[in-house]
Structure 1
């Protein structure tokens, strides 16, 4: 369907093309060259557009044709699959029908076998029922006979049991009669014994009561006699007591009278003494005021004493603390002393090696300074000789002033180089001197730090060399 529609569109476009061409030719005759050019451009654009549309339509046609072919192929594949599925279904149905027929045949065989089994079971059931009925009738007769035998046995056993029960009852009655007779005899005997014992107990208790009454009367009479004697003794003691009190009171009255007279005389004496004491108090009032002021001063001092005591406690606490610190310091001192001994030993070792190193440094410095001074003196002599020789050569050769000036400038350059060398040598001498002095000061400070006295350091014989340099550290000296 798709390709036919596209062919119709192409044919219609082909049929419409000639009228457009005729219109264009008519227009070419009427319009000018510019319009023809414009129309040509428009026609080219239309042609390009038509070509694009044709290409697009052709592409769509090819795409649709491709889809159509793919779909037709898929439809063919699906039809083939459907046909194969139909064949499979037919085969399965045929197979199912065969299986159904087979199972139906099996069911028929099973039903036939089941009917035969039922018939056999029915026949066997009838025979077994007859046998069971016959056996049951025989067993029933046997059980009836056995039941009659058991019943007769039970009747005989019941008769014998009744007979034995009657005999046992007779025996029990006889035994009960005998026991009653024995109990009556024992009761009579016990009653007689109890009555005799009761009479004996009554007689004993009566006798004991009489004895107790007699003893109580005797104790009562004895107690009455003791009370009477005690009463007489107490009455005599009371009489003596009151007589003694009366005598004591009379003596006390006499003593009190004497004391009253003495107290009167003592009161008069006290009056006289009070007068004297009053006079004495008037005389002691001033010393009392002085004493009171002294007491106040002492109380103030007592307050100060409390403060002093508190200060003393603080001082003692501080003393204890200082004592503890002293112990710690002593321990620290001991540790430092041991460390000092170790450092002193190290100092001795360093002292031994220091002298050698100082002597070696001094020797090298002296040698180097001597060499530098010799070089300096030799160069100075060479310079003076060279200047004299130059002057002699100039005067002898009678050179031109320009040549003499050139020669002089050359000699000046040589002299300048020599002077620079001399300055460098002087700098090296100064630097070596500075290094020696710095080394000496550094070693001296190390020895002072190690505890070597300055006198020992001065006695070693190492003196700093004279120099115009400062005492700052030199570049060659590394301070510790």
Structure 2
């Protein structure tokens, strides 16, 4: 390095070269080839885009030329149309003048015809008035004649009406006479018919009365005959009943005699039975007392039996609960073993992670390992909480739990102290590493080596920039 610095002092400059991008200097050969391929791909793409844009530009220019020629053609057509419009406007003015002349001629002709029509109308009106006056005179004379004829016609009609009234009165008298005569004849005829009907109805009434009397007599005879037959039947029925009752009375008398005999025999038996009853009453009383005692015992027996049954059921439930508690205890014990195993595994992993952190601290990955350490610590705390929950669910002896927790706390205390010692060592190593880099950065430029060429970076740490071996150890 000293020789290199001497050469620089001698002033020998290297050959001029193109400046290379510092980003490209740090790339490897495969990365550079990838960059070259990417740049070539971009170059091809850009050239294609340029050709496409050139085609678009040529097309736009072509469209512009076509549009320009079309504009010129349209302008020529517009000029032609303007000339045509001027010609049409001139012709239109001429036509308007001709039309105005025609209108003036027509107005003059209209005035003349109007004047002629007015004179003709006045002459026609005067003639019409004369004709109207003559017609009125004729009509008035005709009216007088019509009135005269009407008066004569009215007189004639009044005479005719009077004659017709006289004729109607005569005819009415004749009709009344005919009606009265017919009415009298009809009355006589109907009175004769009524008399004949009365005679016929009287005969019919007599015949019907005779028939009704015959039917009544026949019905009375039938009733008498039926009554006699029913009376004979009832008489025979009651005779049979009387005979049967007499026979029944005789039989009942015989039965009464038999019953009296049986009653005497039963009285004798009753006396014997009463004597036997008296003899058996004392043993019966004793047996009844024994029965009461046995019933009392039976009542207590049922109660004892129910109590025994309840006790057996309660005992069975207690046994089931005991088995369940044992199974639960085994399960919790198994969980405790698993959690203890996981805790030991976590502690081993934790120690391994700590060792890994101590090993990788020299390589500049302290921050990542600290995050991992925090995650493992959180996981360890979670497992510790699960362990406490299992211990509470297991309902173990408090002394055992206290001893186990005390041992765990002691173990964790030792592990925590080891962790703190390792963290202190990590901080010391980080501090030494950073101090070494800072020394290199201050010394190497004096030897002609730039700081960018060193390639080392400081590790982020909470330590200060004081001299080494001054990191305080956490208690």
* Higher CA-based Rg: 1
Q: Structure 1 length as normaliser, TM-score?
A: 0.35
The TM-score normalised by the length of structure 2 is: 0.35
Structure with the larger RCO, 1 or 2 (CA within 8 Å, 6+ apart) = 2
